[in-house]
A and B are shown apart, each in its own frame.
Chain A
Amino acid sequence: MSVVIQVENLAKQYRLGEVSTGTLVHDINRWWHRVRGREDPYLSITAANERETSSDQSYVWALQDVSFEVKQGEVLGIIGRNGAGKSTLLKMLSRITAPTRGEIRMNGTSSSLLEVGTGFHPDLTGRENIFLNGAILGMSKADIRSKLDAIVEFSGCARYLDTPVKRYSSGMVVRLGFAVAAHLEPDILIVDEVLAVGDAEFQKKCLGKMKDVAAHGRTVLFVSHNMASIRKLCDTGLWIHQGRLQKFGSCEDVVSDYLSSVSADQAWHTSVDQRVLSEHQKKPNLPVYITSVDLRSAGQAGVQTMDALTLRIKYRAAERFLNPGFMVSVQTESGVEIFRCSNMPIRGQSFAAVNQGVGEVRLRIPQLPLAGGRYVIDVAFARAGIEHLFRLNRVATLVVENTDVFGSGLEISQDWGMVVVPHDWELIEGDGQGNG
């Protein structure tokens, strides 16, 4: 098998912070160095990609010294934590952004699927959008026309084909988008975690389609957080950690190494999305702002089913307000709410007021009933009992380990239902009037 992708010493530098007059100064300085044939002065002062440690340096290496090769027909799974540089790698492979250093060489046509339904126009009908989206992904009109029936059938949206897409449910939009993408026939297919959306049945369909693609001798690069699907699909694994290549080799080896490093590291289990927080803090005129969210379990390792869990929300109130309401909603990654906690009205615990200044709200869940898997958490505040102030969508991610709750030897994951409830079985023979 020949090598179809060759990546050599690939690196990408990003500038942090906002564009302002300072950027202009840097640009001029950089240009002046280049004119004199010197090296870019900002390349040497760049920090490594470490999300947790804050640094004063305004440049960061999102990716550094990454080299690997992919052979024809191989399915490569790319894994790593949020922010490790996986998406940056995909963006360079897809020609969306250019590398700062290094080189990528490819043979054959390539298509990337970093999102489903890219470029859909809400006012156009389903049929028009199939043509538009197909053209954006690089198909010719004749190509799309010949595959139209297959695309429509795969999407299951035949009845709504001549309805504007803005009237579609979000699930239908995703199905239509994936249907178009599934009928691309590139030599190299690059797929980001697009399977995280949509229901279970749809995800199964997508995985099946990707297997199909691989079976036809095409090369697939696939990013996912779902180790089960990586294991099922991939031959080779690539693990990126803090912008560097940590391990490259057989999929099984890479995934197991990655998983053991993950469970050794607690922070990952309760990762808080700092972007959601900082966006919230930029909003003007709120009487109260959340400064941090923190999730802790009693367990030493990760969070397990039936663990006691404490959620601490630190706030800063600009003014005193009466009758505060706090809400925490726990959902699946695709956004289905599993349970909700609120002091009012659900729990019936009212507080008189939140005073001006800083403080902390604590939510204790004595026995977390969630099965092993990833969940996302929303946090919302209200005042005067009902007046909605804000809601931070997906502010935290909670990873529950598969746990042998009942000592039966089975580690319960989401495949066995989202919620684990204590239960007992009894078998009563005869007419049921026996011992009672």
Chain B
Amino acid sequence: MNDQNTAELASLSGRQWDLVIRPRGRWFDLQLADLWRYRDLVLMFVRRDFVAQFKQTILGPAWFVLQPLLTTLVFVVVFGEIAQLSTDGLPRVLFYLSGNVVWMYFAGVLTATANTFVSNAHLFGKVYFPRLAVPISVSVSYVLKFLLQFLFFMGFVAYFHWQGAEISFHPIIALFPVLVVLMALMSLGLGILFSAMTTKYRDLRFLLDFGVRLLMFAAPVIYPLSMIPDRWRWFLMINPMTPIIEAFRLAFLGQGTVSIGHLMYSAFFTVFVLTAGIALFNRIERSFMDTV
């Protein structure tokens, strides 16, 4: 009895609780401390993705570079040789490879994180951990994969340079880390925004899978922005990945159509989707087990 009285007194006197679970959380509750406590989990997820992906394969991690390489070869034949599309005067292999490496990162993270809730439903239904750990770990593994593919790309750049191709670095190369962070956060933000929305209405997932494939044609992956007539260019510029791909080409190959204004647009877009994505994600993670 005595104990109960003290407990009541404690709660009346506004005792601090470590954790309070309420029906509705705040819209923007990052729970960064919680996420930091689970940092080892993020790393374990990354490790799991890498190790599990290549168990029982012969070529193993070689697939990381084979994917963009084979796609590039197909592009060289179809869009280059047959359709004779311009590549801004750049060697076709380098042009398509650079576009592919960047686009594959974006499309990969977007489709993988958009499935966060649906493909981890079983795990989420049995144990609590900050749900953001999953999309973040996906982003980290894709960044590692991207860096590997980037090194591969640089190998080609070195080879073509040695062969005497007309390519050069541009000072914008200093912005390379910014570009990587920008595209990582943008695809993460878009991905979690979609993941939150697909939990209840799966229609969006079809829309996304399909949309990402179509969106590639509205990005300068298979043709340069400079090839597009001025009055249509705005249409391509809506795609926030356009400036990033163009900046990437300009930095490492010396050809690309991009301005600081374009990059600012991408940056604003990133901040917007990331904020909206986190807010919606927080909302959904608390109750998605009831709807998934």
Hey, which bits of chain A sit against chain B, CB under 8 A?
Answer: 1-3, 6, 14-15, 19, 23-24, 27, 69, 71, 91-110, 112, 114-115, 118-119, 121, 123-124, 128, 131-132, 135-141, 164
Contact = CB atoms under 8 A, between A and B. Distances in A.
Contacts of A123: 51-52, 55-56
A187 to B, nearest CB: 9
Given A98-B25, A102-B23, 10 more contacts: A2-B3, A6-B11, A91-B289, A94-B127, A103-B20, A135-B43, A136-B41, A136-B44, A136-B127, A141-B43
Contacts of A136: 41, 44, 123, 127, 129
Q: Which of the listed residues B10, B21, B37 has the most CB atoms from chain A within 10 Å of its own CB?
A: B21
B231 interface: no
A136 B123 CA distance: 9
B127 A114 contact: yes
29 contacts: A2-B10, A3-B3, A24-B201, A71-B3, A91-B125, A91-B289, A96-B126, A98-B22, A98-B23, A98-B24, A104-B19, A104-B20, A105-B11, A107-B18, A108-B18, A109-B18, A112-B127, A118-B126, A121-B52, A123-B51, A123-B55, A128-B47, A131-B44, A135-B38, A135-B40, A135-B43, A136-B123, A138-B37, A138-B41
A79 B12 CA distance: 31
B127 A135 contact: no
Given A71-B3, A115-B126, A141-B40, A132 B21 contact: no
B23 A99 contact: yes
A101 B289 contact: no
A101 B286 CA distance: 13
Interface in B124-180: 124-129
A69 B48 CA distance: 40
B235 to A, nearest CB: 31
Contacts of A2: 3, 6-7, 10
B287 interface: yes
A19 B291 contact: yes
B17 interface: yes
A131 B45 CA distance: 10
A259 B41 CA distance: 43
B119 to A, nearest CB: 13
Nearest to A119: B123
Contacts of B126: 96, 114-115, 118
A347 B44 CA distance: 55
Contacts of A112: 127-128
Contacts of B18: 106-109
B290 interface: yes
Given A3-B10, A112-B128, A164-B55, A23 B200 contact: yes
B266 to A, nearest CB: 32
A36 to B, nearest CB: 17
Interface in B1-51: 3-4, 6-7, 10-11, 17-25, 37-38, 40-41, 43-44, 47-48, 51
A14 B292 CA distance: 12
A109 to B, nearest CB: 8
Given A3-B10, A19-B201, A92 B21 contact: yes
Interface string B47-91: 110011001100000000000000000000000000000000000
A303 B287 CA distance: 41
A112 B125 CA distance: 11
A119 B37 CA distance: 19
A131 B43 CA distance: 11
Nearest to A92: B21
Contacts of A138: 37-38, 41, 129
Contacts of A97: 286-287, 289-290
A124 B10 contact: no
Contacts of B38: 135, 138
Nearest to A20: B201
Contact of A105 (B19, B51, B128, B200): B19
A19 B200 contact: yes
The 4 A-B residue pairs with the shortest CB-CB distance, nearest first, are A98-B286, A104-B21, A95-B128, A135-B41
A121 B25 contact: no
A135 B44 contact: yes
B289 A103 contact: no
Contacts of A15: 290-291
A135 B23 CA distance: 27
B137 to A, nearest CB: 11
A140 B126 CA distance: 19
A128 B287 CA distance: 31
Contacts of B48: 121, 124, 128, 132
Contacts of A71: 3, 7
A131 B40 CA distance: 9
B22 A103 contact: yes
A27 B6 CA distance: 43
Nearest to A62: B290
A101 B201 contact: no
Contact of A106 (B6, B19, B25): B19
A140 B200 CA distance: 33
Nearest to B291: A19
A94 B10 contact: no
Contacts of B200: 19, 23, 27
A124 B52 contact: yes
B3 A1 contact: yes
Given A19-B201, A164-B55, A96 B19 contact: no
Nearest to B44: A135
A101 B3 contact: no
B204 to A, nearest CB: 12
Contact of B128 (A3, A96, A121, A132): A96
Nearest to A109: B18
A69 to B, nearest CB: 7
Contacts of B10: 2-3
